[in-house]
Amino acid sequence: MEKKFLYFQPEYVDKFKCDGSKCDARCCKGWTIMIDEKSCEQYSNIEPPETAEEILSCMEFDSEKKAYVMTLKPNGFCPMLTEKNLCRLQANYGENFLSQTCATYPRCTNQFGDFFERSLTLSCPVAAEMILFDKEPIKFFFVNVDEKVHSNGGKIFANPFSREKNLAEELFAIQGTMISILQERRLSINQRLLTLTLFFEDLEELMAVDVSSPEKAFDLVHAVRKLTSSYNPKNFLREVIPPAIQASSFDAEKFVMIMISFFSPIYVNAFKSFDVLGKYLHSVLQTLQIDFVDEKRLTFPQIAANYTALVEERKIFSEKYSTFLENYLVNELFLNLCPWKFEGSIIKNFLVFMIFYKVFELIIFSATLKGFDTKEDLLCMVDKFTRNIDHNDELKKKILEFLKDRKDLFELTESLLEN
């Protein structure tokens, strides 16, 4: 009997179908396409030998990555693409001839002991359109996946998750609570993030206990179950949100200071590489009336005043794009294992996630305010932003360094969320 693997995943995963003709094969343009050893061996054994030699001649060894990579054509595309932007390796020899990179993308698989999670990255425009423009909340299910889909002959790579070992099975309940909070549409996006902040603060307090004995580990599991049930929609709407709203203290000046600090390197890199993202990023400067060239730069209080003055425009934006932003948040939180991706506290992890989100939200708001509001514009912004962030280790290090010795992480989180 074929072995089955238990997966927790969004409903859209099984609906997704890769089609380079629909997205201009963006996953095959400008990326480093690494070829694993198993795929190299498969290609070398293709008949006739002339075909094998042709395929192998399109690859070169990258000494830095210590792996073979595809040599892209002058136009930046993979040499294996057909005129219809479909992979000829897959078309001629089957899906099992895809390299590990190509067999996996845009899927992302995480492993929790015997459990697995799978989702899609938004840098794939086909996936992004399917996820972000659905008016219904993203649904999640447990599914049994057979060996062929699970590993594709050993080609599918799962990221092992080793933290919080005592809570392996409870992680799904924690994630379910996070998702339900983000999908509570009776609240604004910022109110949902405020509630999530409170939940993470409570969760972090629980996680600080000693679990050196089975009895203490059992007590922790029980406490986590009690916490997740207390944050069900009825409870947190009645008991948690009113005091959270009253106590929240948005700081416009601190907000723009943080946004500009981490927006600037994205802006500079985009213009250095002549990235099309630049035209959208420039709208942020126009919206906040910032001129990086002018010697008489605005002070942070002046920029904060410009941002605050747009309160009505931001209200209209948050209402119009609420499902788009909700789906973005839910997908990215789930895909990036928030709040456990980085070393350090739960609140610190959430702050990294939220700073990235707030920069993204500011870009989308500013761009739509300046007329870049078509579906094509939005998908292009998501694609370019995701690519810039997913592979920008320096920016992640910069944010973690900024948070390193701060003692006011919870207050800092609150100060970024205008209620």
What is the domain partition of the chain in residue ranges?
1-16+106-162, 19-103, 187-247, 252-415
Res 115 pLDDT > 90: no
pLDDT digits (tens, 9 = 90+) for 155-203: 667 777 766 656 667 888 899 999 999 999 988 899 899 889 889 999 9
Q: Does 48 sit behind a cis peptide bond, omega within 30 degrees of 0 on the bond before it?
A: yes
Q: Taking a C-beta distance cutoff of 8 angstroms, is the pair 33, 70 a contact?
A: yes
Query: Is the pTM value of this prediction over 0.85?
Result: yes
pLDDT digits (tens, 9 = 90+) for 271-298: 766 677 788 998 999 999 887 665 567 8
Give residue 266's pLDDT. 85
Q: What percent of the chain has pLDDT over 70?
A: 89
Quick one: pLDDT band at residue 152, thresholds 50, 70, 90? low
pLDDT digits (tens, 9 = 90+) for 88-103: 888 888 888 888 888 8
Q: Taking a C-beta distance cutoff of 8 angstroms, is the pair 263, 220 a contact?
A: no
Q: Taking a C-beta distance cutoff of 8 angstroms, is the pair 279, 229 a contact?
A: no
- Token pair 């008489």: residue: 296
Average pLDDT of the residues of the chain: 85
Rounded distance between C-alpha atoms, residue 304 and residue 287, angstroms: 11
Q: Does 106 sit behind a cis peptide bond, omega within 30 degrees of 0 on the bond before it?
A: yes
Give residue 103's pLDDT. 81
Selected residue with higher pLDDT from 153 and 370: 370
